[in-house]
Structure 1
């Protein structure tokens, strides 16, 4: 069976460093930090008092009040980013075959704030179960793609992938496969998350997963730095329009990049910690390169999972050195989480967008906040520290991993 080629024709982003695709790129290019003290709730008794919240986002700019009340933040973010991506793609809704347009979306948690508030409300009541009738539809993770499909009338495959922080990268790979096997012409894909909540912050603090650098939140996300002490929680969404190449070409669409391939693997090691030698990470990058028909020396840039955790960063870089050998020193390696924080289920989507825009602009965004060399990291690796670097980027890889040992890797190349 001859697989069809798949390209990216639309992008949308709602992130802690920019509320549109163009604002997001400007934040990446200039090394902007999205981390700041939390404004959503009182953090006095929390170990971590900061996060990467959205700035200037107002649901009333996108939804009427009645509609907004029916949507958890994560679903709102999905709608906003996907609408931008669809508009960016230039798809003519009167001409597209909506039975061949799918929506495959990623969310690691879903409506956490909705769940939290409803349970707190019940606990503070008299024991009578007075729950909001929208409680379940607001909370469930699959409601995001459901709403996107309903809003646009898309009647192709429609579901959510859930693999913790790898969720939206998984969604992207599923979308790739649906199109290249001929089941869809177009898939709206990506991911969203809104876990900067009492439950989210409290839960991750209990795991000792978050940075507690409260005295300097803007520098707390510091991947690869010897003084890193955990990740910074972020929120938002990223959306990509994936399209069959001939379909895109026939309508004269702008093509950002080709989705060359995707890989998956499992660590099968620990619920939250990576294998110290990065065995699963080695395999997922090898699987991705094989799927794309690429050699290691073809890769110019890697946007790492790079969460700023003591174990994870070292394991991933060891894996990169093993897969790419001497060529690893010629790759621009970075972590855009240094700017956006960790968007959990949305991380793969916004980082894929960062990789695509790096190719379009021949500029690799920096890994910011690096001050102290980690002796456990190979000093010959180019980690794109503190300042964006110009270079021709023809092939870019994006790594995303999740609790449970889920590993996903996607590789993009300039269209030829």
Structure 2
């Protein structure tokens, strides 16, 4: 039988760790410059809480208690290693005189932003930035990260170690850039969060990663008020994630957007997304994507979707952030707004550069437009071709289902 007190303690530790763990790691990295030491001490503080809180009770300020235990552990380790007095003095300054009091808000903001910008530094490979963000800020187990990246746990451990070593060895500054440097670096940070969300939102992704991306986007918006693209990215995540419970049927098969039960969408998330999006200008790539997602999220039925507006947003997005995939989505939008011939013309233009050759989704888009144009036999052939180019899984099954019934 489960001990109710132990279960309650575990819940309290889990709740505290969401906020406190990255703050503690960030503060200890700032002082010691040692990522491994910071993570080990933060983890040991969580372990100590699981051992002591059932007997002593959950403290009034769980985060402050965890910070004190982690700081004291770091001091012990550094003393044994005979580290210079300066670092010990700075660590001692992390002490919270009253464990029930909260840390200074400015310190929390600075440390968290430093950690986010360091994990997302452009000197690191993009996959390392995502993995380091998951491990250090989100406290996702290394085994889970490895599974998402389709590598072994030992390989992911080495990847994380190399990233931390590069940060130390290359002298990557542990700070938030300012002025023009902030303008240059912020898109890279947002790109990491976008990729993190995608890792969770994809058909074969880890759903928890999407939740973590939303949490980090909320945090970044709170720490960097007034940054239009930060608000836009959060809004985009909220609109997309609002459909999470309707994207599969009872058997696990993918359900197309126009077939989803919109009554089951998370309308609270959609409302939050609309409020957040009101803070964003319409000239950034994430703001334009969020406007597109808002058109889908607010349509009461699939038939009421404002496809001309979506096509217009894609026209603007293609100018701001040109890419073959955006041109592909633009072809879809125009196909629904102005007829399949218009979509097929834009699709041919998007494929003319060769970047979309053998890309399964491009073939699937051609198949859908061909079916709507009135040639289901050729459409079925194209759906089968797209399925053959897709890895086994729910996407391939969905394409084969469309091949069996192209007009579905």
Fold in common (TM above 0.5): no
Compute the TM-score of the two structures, normalised by the length of structure 2. 0.28
Considering fraction of residues, name the structure with more helix.
Answer: 2
Considering fraction of residues, name the structure with more strand.
Answer: 1
Larger Rg: 2
Compute the TM-score of the two structures, normalised by the length of structure 1. 0.28
Between 1 and 2, higher relative CO (CA 8 Å, sep ≥ 6) is seen in 1
